[in-house]
Structure 1
Amino acid sequence: PLAHQILVDDTVEPFEYESTEVVEAEYLTEIGMNQYIDSVRTNENGIINNTISLKQLGMDEPIWTSVIPHGNESYELAKLVVATGPDTITINNGALIQTLSLTDGTLLSTYECFEYDAEGNIAPLVQFGCILAVETSDSVYIVDGGEKLHRFATFDEAPNVMTLQAIWQLPNEMKVIDDLVEAELLDDTHLLIVSKEMAGVVELEKNSVQIGGVGTGFQQSANVLINATSSANFSAVDVGHSNLIDEKISEATTSNQLIVLGTEDGDLMAWNYLPAEETLLVEETKLSINNFADQIRDVRLTDIDNSGDTELLITTEDEARLLYGTSMVQRLIIEVPEGENVAVAFGDTPKDIVDDTTHLHAIVIGENYSTTSGVVESSMFLSGGIVFEDVPTLIGLLVSIILMILLYVHSEWYVVNTVGILVGSGVIVMLGVSFVPTLIMIFMVAAAIYDAWAVYKSKHMLDLADTMINLNLPILLVAPQDTDYSFRAERTPASTEVSPSNVEDEESSQPRERVIKKSNDAMLMGLGDVIFPGMLVLSTLQYIGGDDGWIMAMATLVGSLVGYSILMWYVGQGKAQAGLPLLNGGAILGYVLGGFMTIGMAMFQFNISL
């Protein structure tokens, strides 16, 4: 079962970074699949401005540039906090809330985060300061440092004027001071807030109830539609067209979106946002994966080949992995530069459009940011689907035909064993790479129960074994005990009565066991008893990567050998035993022990890895 890990090596052309550019600007947020916004702050004679630019990866010139005021010098070092929307972006620095059009960068509105009292003194608009702000069609929503959500009504007839209408209390874990990962306005009534400890979609209502009367300080709790928490902190988020639906972006008839989250300890979480459905948010179980990697640094819904279908690009602790199509087959693996905060995406240069290639851009974000990029070609992709190599295919067909003929005209034990080993290895590989370990263990438990019932209770397996042996089918392995043993001459039915003291005495009534049959000159083992433990070993290697997967696979193999040893001891004692309960039980026990030594309870996840 380990042969394909050594012999089938999917060699690809290595990816190389070609250039690195350091940009003296503040990286604010990504927009869509291949765009982002940055800012350059200037102070000329006490007048502080921010030059906001929307840029596209791979292009030299920005799509648009807009200069907006930053406020007075007391706010010069204030950080810009951004909330994106479908068509706008709201930028807040604690002094000014400004909304720009994503289409051309036009400054649509400006609101102040402070007000003047009756004596002309400046006072903050909200008690704990404007930390996060987002503008809708008729409101500005502000989140302060006390996790309170404030709604201010806006008026078309009075631009840049807003009036407080309602206050809600957000969960304490939804901290936005220094802990905000990303905020995105999904539509006019729903705001996605992802902080380090908690992620949730907040319903933007119009009115709230003051609990306990005006001035008590107790607010109605905000309606948070999902309450996702992470003890290891959220580290990445993206919202876009789902990669799990068979619908092209241009053909989408609804505003459904997929929300993907990543954590510092390598977990993935996902929800489908369905604004037209009665249930607004539905967890996407296919993408909710524990221990996908040691760390998730970035997630990006992308379209690498401009086909209109979405792929998922996940950046782990040291590499970016492209999960292709609705089946999320891993097709591309590229090393990514170090850095706690990174943004990784594909973006075409003018040359890529001519050469039918694309570029991968890795942005390492700090006080400034650097962009490292390199060309991605088709030769760098891992193989997908069925791949036929000419010479191995011809050899395989020739050997198969020869073995089929030998089985028919000369079905000796060494022919049966050769075919059995080849067939068993093929079945192990095909099924082992097709099912995750948890699912295979369910199959193994069910097969072990059936095996015990078929051997001890109904005994129909004995008649089936007689038929298979007489037909010379390669569904067993033969271990001759004598050099002159001939399998062709061996036709002792599995249910024949054999005396342990005298093999020629047919008066003793001892039913033979299906899996292990000790005849006069040979011991027979059913092929299925080799396939099931082998499937679990190979599946463990396939779906649990790195050293953890290797340790668990070896523990599974050792466990199956221990079960086999116990089975042989019972057979040596003359006690009939069904093979699968011991063989499968030993393999599963080895898997569980290996899992507790490495990845813990994540070993029971159905979608444990990819």
Structure 2
Amino acid sequence: MERRWRILGGCGLIAGIFLFVQLGALALVQPFESAGYQAVEDPSDPTNSLMYIGAILVATAVMLLAFRYDVDQLIRGLIVFSAAWLSLYVFQVLVPPVFTYAGLNVGAVLLALGLGTALLVYPEWYVIDSAGAVMGAAAAGLFGISFGVLPALVLLTVLAVYDAISVYGTEHMLTLASGVMDLRVPVVLVIPMTLSYSYLDATTPNPTAEDETSDDSAAANDDTEATTGTGEADESDDVHADPLERDALFIGLGDAIIPSILVASAAFFASSDVLSVFGVPLPALTAMVGSYLGLTILLWMVLKGRAHAGLPLLNGGTIAGYIVGALATGISLVDALGLGPYL
């Protein structure tokens, strides 16, 4: 029973981080727009998302090559720099510019540098998750104001397909996840199952080994103990353990960011006459609900003991929720999909 409560607590933490990213993005879209952070001239252009998808493919290839040729610390440095840079966007619109130098908000810069330093010096799970939550809200907000609904829908659809292929087909995403987890950076969220868990001391699991294990082998290892956080257990212990025995769960930060882009976009680009609930346009709110339905199913599948592609369920739920909310407010399907200008 205690183990199940630990799992419920871990799932609750995942849901809380997802909620922080979504609410953070919703809160940031207007300040970001006022600060001039919109990255494209025409947010309704669907080719915007195609360029971003191309950038993801290039970044994935570069990271895989870096892991192969043992220059992964360069990747770690770039990710930490990106975390500090993204957090600077957030802090610049939230921290009053009491002190400025060369046009920069000194307080915001110091906070961003502090976040980056913490990731370099002490990448414990709560440091990684906190930085990831800030990064997620910033990224979702920035893309939310830069991608209209149609580009956002294209982005979520293509990335869902890509995620499924890269996890179940080529499996290179599992290799990438394994390499990134060793770097201890906020690309993968770390969800502890015990109060004593330390990410710094634990042996990171190998998703590729998990995927290669047959169902019979997994069943035979149901009683294997998970990594205890002391680093004494080897990787196979944590990989093949009963999920209820594990000391930590892992979920990609992108699984929180990508669906939240549509949530932010649906809110930012909603017309003023669209029904709102608690200040959030209904299509954006139902998109959030849909993402949580997808997350619930994803966690249920993950707790069965195998790595799964998150975006097909998360993006699918978010898109379905958005469409339901848009139709409920009287928006036609064509307009809800952003296809009106093209038909």
Q: TM-score w.r.t. structure 1 length?
A: 0.35
* 1:191 corresponding residue in structure 2: none
3-state SS, counterpart of residue 390 of structure 1: coil
Rate the CA distance shift 1:477–1:439 in 2: closer, same or farther, 3 A.
same
Displacement of 1:572 in angstroms is: 2.3
Match for residue 590 of structure 1 among 321, 329, 333: 321
Match for residue 296 of structure 2 among 538, 550, 565: 565
* 2:252 corresponding residue in structure 1: 526
Post-superposition Cα deviations, 1:458-512, rounded to whole Å, max 9, x if no partner, equal 1111111111111112112111100110111223322345733213597979979
3-state SS, counterpart of residue 191 of structure 2: strand
Q: Distance in 1 between matches of 2:195 and 2:238?
A: 26
Structure having the higher strand fraction is: 1
User: What code does the residue aligned with 2:97 have?
Assistant: D
3-state SS, counterpart of residue 553 of structure 1: helix
Q: Distance in 1 between matches of 2:315 and 2:146?
A: 19
User: Which residues of structure 2 form unaligned runs of 5+?
Assistant: 1-21, 32-39, 44-91, 99-103, 211-217, 227-232
Rate the CA distance shift 1:400–1:519 in 2: closer, same or farther, 3 A.
farther
* 1:434 corresponding residue in structure 2: 146
3-state SS, counterpart of residue 573 of structure 1: coil
Q: Does 1:603 align with 2:336?
A: yes
Q: Does 1:493 align with 2:224?
A: no
Rate the CA distance shift 1:552–1:8 in 2: closer, same or farther, 3 A.
closer
* 1:2 corresponding residue in structure 2: 23
Displacement of 1:429 in angstroms is: 0.6
User: What code does the residue aligned with 2:121 have?
Assistant: V
* 2:75 corresponding residue in structure 1: none
Q: Does 1:411 align with 2:120?
A: no
* 1:578 corresponding residue in structure 2: 309
Post-superposition Cα deviations, 1:417-464, rounded to whole Å, max 9, x if no partner, equal 111011111100110110111211111111111111111111111111
Q: Is the 8 A contact 2:289 2:318 kept in 1?
A: yes
Q: Distance in 1 between matches of 2:318 and 2:41?
A: 29
Match for residue 503 of structure 1 among 216, 225, 234: 225
Which runs of structure 2 are paired with 1:475-486 in the superposition (5 Å)?
A: 475-486=187-198
Higher relative contact order (CA 8 A, sep 6+): 2
Q: Is the 8 A contact 1:500 1:574 kept in 2?
A: no
Rate the CA distance shift 1:415–1:511 in 2: closer, same or farther, 3 A.
closer
3-state SS, counterpart of residue 473 of structure 1: coil
Percent identity between matched residues is 32
Q: Distance in 2 between matches of 1:412 and 1:510?
A: 19
Return the index of the structure with the highest Cα Rg.
Answer: 1
Which runs of structure 2 are paired with 1:124-163 in the superposition (5 Å)?
A: none
Rate the CA distance shift 1:4–1:562 in 2: closer, same or farther, 3 A.
closer
Displacement of 1:9 in angstroms is: 6.4
Post-superposition Cα deviations, 1:263-296, rounded to whole Å, max 9, x if no partner, equal xxxxxxxxxxxxxxxxxxxxxxxxxxxxxxxxxx
Q: Does 1:536 align with 2:258?
A: no
Displacement of 1:607 in angstroms is: 7.3
User: Which residues of structure 1 form unaligned runs of 5+?
Assistant: 11-325, 330-386
Q: Distance in 2 between matches of 1:410 and 1:502?
A: 30
* 1:251 corresponding residue in structure 2: none
* 1:393 corresponding residue in structure 2: 105
3-state SS, counterpart of residue 190 of structure 2: strand
Rate the CA distance shift 1:501–1:545 in 2: closer, same or farther, 3 A.
farther
Rate the CA distance shift 1:438–1:414 in 2: closer, same or farther, 3 A.
same
3-state SS, counterpart of residue 208 of structure 2: coil
Q: Is the 8 A contact 2:147 2:265 kept in 1?
A: yes
3-state SS, counterpart of residue 251 of structure 2: strand
3-state SS, counterpart of residue 2 of structure 1: helix
3-state SS, counterpart of residue 114 of structure 2: helix
User: What code does the residue aligned with 1:450 have?
Assistant: Y
Displacement of 1:520 in angstroms is: 2.7
Which runs of structure 2 are paired with 1:193-232 in the superposition (5 Å)?
A: none
Rate the CA distance shift 1:486–1:506 in 2: closer, same or farther, 3 A.
closer
Q: Cα RMSD (Å) of the superposition?
A: 3.2
User: What code does the residue aligned with 2:264 have?
Assistant: L
Number of residue pairs aligned between Structure 1 and Structure 2: 232
Which runs of structure 2 are paired with 1:12-31 in the superposition (5 Å)?
A: none
Q: Is the 8 A contact 1:448 1:581 kept in 2?
A: yes
Structure having the higher helix fraction is: 2
3-state SS, counterpart of residue 478 of structure 1: strand
Rate the CA distance shift 1:6–1:468 in 2: closer, same or farther, 3 A.
closer
Q: TM-score w.r.t. structure 2 length?
A: 0.60
